[in-house]
Amino acid sequence: MPLPLLVLALSAFAIGTTEFVIMGLLPEVASDLDVSIPAAGWLVTGYALAVAIGAPFMAMATGHLSRRKALIILMGVFILGNFLCAIAANYGLLMFARVVTALCHGAFFGIGSVVAATLVAPDQRARAVALMFTGLTLANVLGVPLGTALGQVSGWQSTFIAVTLIGIITLIGLIRFLPAPAEKETHVSMKQEFLALKGAGIWLALLTTVLFAAAMFTVFTYIAPLLRDVTGVSPQGVTWSLFLIGLGLTIGNLIGGRMADWNLGTTLALSFVGIAATSAIFSWSSQSLVPAEITLFLWALVTFAAVPALQVSVVHFGKAAPNLVSTMNIWAFNIGNALGAWVGGLVIDQGLELVQVPLAAALIALIGLAVTLFTFRKQSGQGEYADHCAAGSLENP
């Protein structure tokens, strides 16, 4: 794999760390800024909403630039946002800084995945996207626990200083190693970008991403209370469980990249089946430590196996404007994130037990399976997608 892919993976690591590390630092942030824990929690929600709302607009704002220049500018915004987080002296400034940082998130992943796919041969594009997104999974394995530990020892600001430094290193790597724009790289107008969103195919692909993320985060959002209150794991044990989950996410992401190069539709269908099965099993196995840990590892593996296929799929359906539709996929992921958290909370608010939460995730996964089967069968029947499914390749974006 080319060196620029490793730079893109490091970028994903930095962005993923800054998004999720705040969850581990909420007590420190709340205490230092003299706000409640729920108020500090809005720093997580505000970031996700800024990603969902800002991603398409940032993609269109940078649409007239080469993808290389767009990624460099977006990383500059990321560095600025994290520096503002590090020097924020009050809650309002910290929230503003989080929003600034989030603006680059969706567009960077969207454009970056398109660039990743152009760096390799056609039969390796899904694997290239998977390698970039490995940085995001490693952020959960290494970035979040290490960043949390650093913030607890040296103050939460030190974590954002560290991420800012990683961002600067990444920016240098992007400038140094990303190839110059190819002559064939063309720019599309805002009207053309929006026209790429018409047709059922692209919206079915985005709906698949929403359902995937909803099924994932219905469980993931409430994994700590499930492990603590149902399985009986200690706080330190929860940290190790999250590490195990992160390891499963990373391995699943890499396996999913190879599978998606073979067949997109089958990869997505198998992933949804796996999510439904492991979520349902976890509802039972969560009551014992060893079965719970085994189930969670398998759940993480089959879950993130879908990520490369989801990203490649939307680029195929919206190939007229790959920057926008790739970014829209990140938007769909964050919408599903919020939906999953809401569904899990609704189950709990209805007075049901925590073990019922994974069953709700399994139901969402089955709906996602139905949408996937309908999408690929519909496109195959029209002749639009049959050759692509058989070859397992993506048209040049």
Average pLDDT, the chain: 83
Domains of the chain: 1-183 (1.20.1250.20), 188-397 (1.20.1250.20)
What average pLDDT does range 246-260 have in this prediction? 85
Which is more confidently placed, 159 or 351? 159
pLDDT value of position 360: 95
The answer to whether 178 touches 115, Cβ cutoff 8 Å, is yes
Model confidence pLDDT, tens digit, residues 133-178: 788 878 877 888 788 788 888 999 999 999 999 999 999 999 999 9
pLDDT at 379 over 70: no
> Region 191-211: what's the mean pLDDT?
79
CA angle 313, 317, 322 (to 5 degrees): 85
The C-alpha atoms of residue 324 and residue 156 are separated, in whole angstroms, by 34
The set of long-range contacts for 203-207, using a CB threshold of 8 Å and a minimum separation of 24, is 204/317, 204/371, 204/374, 204/375, 204/378, 205/310, 205/313, 205/314, 205/316, 205/317, 205/318, 205/329, 205/375, 206/314, 206/328, 206/329, 206/332, 207/332, 207/371
- DSSP H stretches of helix in the chain: 3-24, 26-33, 37-61, 67-87, 91-118, 125-138, 144-154, 156-177, 190-195, 200-220, 223-225, 235-262, 264-285, 289-304, 307-317, 322-349, 357-381, 386-391
- Of the candidate ranges 104-108, 183-187, 220-224, the one whose mean pLDDT is the lowest: 183-187
pLDDT at residue 299 tops 90? yes
